[in-house]
Amino acid sequence: METRNKSSFTSSLGFILTAAGSAVGVGNIWRFPYLAAKDGGGLFLLVYLGLVLTFGFTLLTTDIAIGRRTGRNAWHAFGAIRPKWGFLGKLTFLVPAIIMTYYAVIGGWVLKYATVYLCGQRSQPAQDGYFIEFITSRVPPVVYLLVFLAITAFVVYSGVEKGIEKFSKVVMPILLLMIVGTAIYSLTLTHTDAHGVTRTGMQGLAVYLIPDFTGMTFSKFLNVLLDAMGQLFFSLSVSMGIMITYGSYVKKDVNLEKSIAQVEFFDTGVAFLAGMMIIPSIFVFSGTEGMAAGPSLMFQSLPKVFDSMGAAGTLVGATFFVMVLFAALTSCLSILETLVSTCMNIFHTDRKKVSLVIGVISAAAAVIVCLGYNVFYFEYTLPNGQTAQILDVLDYISNNFLMPLIAFLTAIFVGWVIKPQWITEEMEEQGAKFGKKRFYAVMVRWVVPVIMAILFLQSTGLLAKISTFIA
Ligand code: PFF
């Protein structure tokens, strides 16, 4: 039974832009800035950068090398290396299957906002309650989500080279240009509020970049670390099989170490620029209080900022949401591609049929998640104390529970069962140099398993139970 993937990227640039397309998403533009605002600006940036260069590098290298060496998706890859570890492939497959259902819902929200701004409306989305009213309504969010999913499914249906790679090669450079332009623009803003206080974009930049240690305690620092770690997984799309699939499409003559560094650079660069675009503008129009908005930052606080900009706000708002839409589409593509590619190998059917079937199943699941704000509404308290609806519960299961668990098991598998040498050989294919070979081995054998175990215990609430038991 052949389970190897037959598709491949045509060039190393195609691979880098497609992998970056998966990595750069709503997480970079929405989640990263609000976490940075909440967690002491520059302090969060420093912690995050440290994690990218250590954990990000190790996990991304592991996924991509496993994908290229086995030529398979996660589902079959682990079992092909060691049959006893086949379960890890199935567990890994669960993550994109879960994320798909709610990422498409968020994609639908972004599509709605992009449409509203493109239609020239600026003051409506700035009204209090606009967002809640939209997501709790029954029909519109479902319609937007279905359109978003249909676009994604169409690109996946068109294949790897003609669909995904081509789409990413066009969209990613545009996204980068738009984000650089908007970030520079936000530094030029000034605004005087009703109390006569004038704030500038450059002051906002200082708030973003200068570490804020006020009231910092060890446990607060631990929280910053956990936030940054969770963000890193989600942002780099690691430990969920996606980069294993993309790795399986990479040709042997591509230098993996270099490409991985470029993907990390792209992903972190966009997150950094997104913060530079959002934090100063929120600061200028709403002061430091506005920055604590958390998840509502993108859909509630930013529209108010665009509205305060006057006529320019419509254009800036439209540019912003089109940018987020591109980012969300290329990420959702990678999730759907992983599901489709895996099912093609399991059921031995062709891409077109599988894309349609998985597209329909995903749509049905996403509609249920979308109706979690009205028909299926409930309030559930997560181990971290947050009140959750269906979308948040799924997000918590995939990001806080499954991802650290999978990263832990994968690190044990690579570090102790097949040994880091297995990855190193792939990294050195065709005479390529793997400069960080030793560093990788130490990370994957020791550091990643220990930290992932702690993270897993923390996010399941077990760490708190253990510490009260000991104390
Ligand atoms: N990395 C994407 C982001 O930062 O938004 C999100 C993502 C893409 C998550 C693909 C999961 C995934 F499988």
Write the DSSP assignment of 362-426 as a string of letters: HHHHHHHHHGGGTTT---EE-TTS-EE-HHHHHHIIIIIIIHHHHHHHHHHIIIIII-THHHHHH
Contact 125, 164 (CB under 8 A): no
Residue 447 lies in a domain: no
Residue 383 lies in a domain: no
Rounded-to-integer distance, Cα 386 and Cα 360, Å: 31
Strand partners, 381: 387
% of the chain residues with pLDDT over 70: 99
Residue 211 lies in a domain: yes
The CA-based angle 83-86-88, given to 5 degrees, is 145
Strand partners, 41: 211
Query: Could you tell me the distance, in angstroms and rounded to a whole number, from the CA of residue 50 to the centre of ligand 1?
Result: 20
Question: Model confidence over 354-390: pLDDT tens digits?
Answer: 999 999 999 999 999 999 999 999 999 988 788 899 9
191 DSSP assignment: E
The residues, any chain, with a CB within 8 Å of residue 321's CB and separated by 6 or more, are 110, 113, 114, 117
Question: Model confidence over 163-175: pLDDT tens digits?
Answer: 999 999 999 999 9
Ligand 1 binding pocket includes 22 (Cβ within 6 Å): yes
Ligand 1 binding pocket includes 398 (Cβ within 6 Å): no
Q: How many CB atoms lie within 10 A of CB 211?
A: 13
Question: Model confidence over 255-276: pLDDT tens digits?
Answer: 999 999 999 999 999 999 999 9
Question: Model confidence over 187-199: pLDDT tens digits?
Answer: 999 999 889 999 9
| Higher-confidence position of 222 and 177 | 177
Average pLDDT over residues 302-313: 90
Q: What is the pLDDT of residue 192?
A: 92
Question: What is the Cα Rg of the chain in Å?
Answer: 22
Q: Is 5 helix (H, G, I), strand (E, B) or coil?
A: coil
**100 CA: nearest ligand 1 atom:** 13
Q: HSE of 368 in the Cβ direction (CA atoms, 13 Å)? A: 10
Rounded-to-integer distance, Cα 444 and Cα 457, Å: 19
pLDDT at 292 > cutoff 80: no
Read off φ and ψ for residue 164, nearest 5 degrees: -65, -50
Q: Name the domain count of the chain.
A: 1
Q: What is the pLDDT of residue 1?
A: 65
pLDDT at 338 > cutoff 80: yes
Q: What is the pLDDT of residue 319?
A: 93
Taking alpha carbons only, the member of 257, 242, 202 closest to residue 406 is 242
Contact 314, 117 (CB under 8 A): yes
CATH of the domain at 180: 1.10.4160.10
To the nearest 10°, report the CA torsion of 87, 2, 16, 432: 90
Contact 110, 331 (CB under 8 A): no
Ligand 1 binding pocket includes 234 (Cβ within 6 Å): yes
Residue 95 lies in a domain: yes
Rounded-to-integer distance, Cα 60 and Cα 236, Å: 8
Residue 205 lies in a domain: yes
Ligand 1 binding pocket includes 18 (Cβ within 6 Å): no
Give the closest residue (by CA) to ligand 1 atom 2.
25
Query: Could you tell me the distance, in angstroms and rounded to a whole number, from the CA of residue 240 to the centre of ligand 1?
Result: 9
Taking alpha carbons only, the member of 329, 308, 306 closest to residue 318 is 306
Residue 422 lies in a domain: no
Contact 403, 55 (CB under 8 A): no
Strand partners, 211: 41
Q: What is the pLDDT of residue 469?
A: 81
Taking alpha carbons only, the member of 61, 113, 41, 51 closest to residue 272 is 41
Strand partners, 380: 388
Rounded-to-integer distance, Cα 94 and Cα 401, Å: 12
Q: Are strands 380-381 and 198-200 parallel, antiparallel or unpaired?
A: unpaired
Rounded-to-integer distance, Cα 3 and Cα 80, Å: 9
Ligand 1 binding pocket includes 240 (Cβ within 6 Å): yes
Give kind and range of the element (H or E) at residue 199: strand 198-200
Contact 26, 320 (CB under 8 A): no
Ligand 1 binding pocket includes 27 (Cβ within 6 Å): yes
Residue 401 lies in a domain: no
Ligand 1 binding pocket includes 23 (Cβ within 6 Å): yes
**331 CA: nearest ligand 1 atom:** 8
| Residue with tokens 């990000």, as numbered in its chain | 56
Contact 445, 418 (CB under 8 A): no
Ligand 1 binding pocket includes 228 (Cβ within 6 Å): no
**242 CA: nearest ligand 1 atom:** 13
Ligand 1 binding pocket includes 21 (Cβ within 6 Å): no
Taking alpha carbons only, the member of 210, 380, 374 closest to residue 283 is 210
Prediction pTM value: 0.93
The CA-based angle 112-115-121, given to 5 degrees, is 105
Residue 406 lies in a domain: no
Query: With bands split at pLDDT 50, 70 and 90, how would you rate the model's confidence at 348?
Result: very high
Give the residue numbers spanning the domain of 47.
12-374
Query: Could you tell me the distance, in angstroms and rounded to a whole number, from the CA of residue 327 to the centre of ligand 1?
Result: 9
pLDDT at 328 > cutoff 80: yes
Q: What is the pLDDT of residue 86?
A: 98
Which residue out of 18, 22, 229 has the highest number of ligand 1 atoms within 8 Å of its CB and is therefore the one to mutate?
22
Q: What is the pLDDT of residue 104?
A: 97
